[in-house]
Structure 1
């Protein structure tokens, strides 16, 4: 029984690591002291045309939002918190 538990535990650890890595992209390695403030970032996001922001949060090394884009489509967007640039954009 023990010989089956070790490979199973290793497989679970690998899958858990892969799932958390896929959760959000790597946006920056800069310390949080260098990040734009939440207010500054929200101004940049609005200038890009995103509206009706339902969620604004820190996700790993990114700012992440759930909102609507200019075309009215739902979007999950990850931003570089230092520059405000879009790193990943997932639209419905």
Structure 2
């Protein structure tokens, strides 16, 4: 009985780390309402980011780079609002 409880707790604890896989972030904004990538680059650079690459994935902007603390980032942004949706790498 103890082993099953420990296993259940271990699986439950692992769930938050599994939630932020690549396919979990989706944006459904009409393309005509998207802001340009340059606006996102400008916004992030003002926040101290170093951008390595931006691409579109699941209708979101996916950004690869480093934040102002030098932490490696792979983050998803809403293309209409440029708000952070979530991070794959934090």
TM-score by length of 1: 0.66
Distance 1:33 1:48 in 2: 26
SS at match of 1:36: coil
Structure 1 residues 2-58: Cα deviation after superposition (integer angstroms, max 9, x where no partner): xxxxxxxxxxxxxxxxxxxx42301x322111000111121122123211x221101
CA RMSD of aligned residues (A): 1.4
1:1-92 paired onto structure 2 within 5 Å: 22-24=21-23, 25-26=25-26, 28-51=27-50, 53-89=51-87, 90-91=89-90
Distance 1:45 1:30 in 2: 20
SS at match of 2:43: helix
How many pairs does the alignment contain? Answer: 68
Q: Which runs of 5+ in 2 are unaligned?
A: 1-20
Q: Which runs of 5+ in 1 are unaligned?
A: 1-21
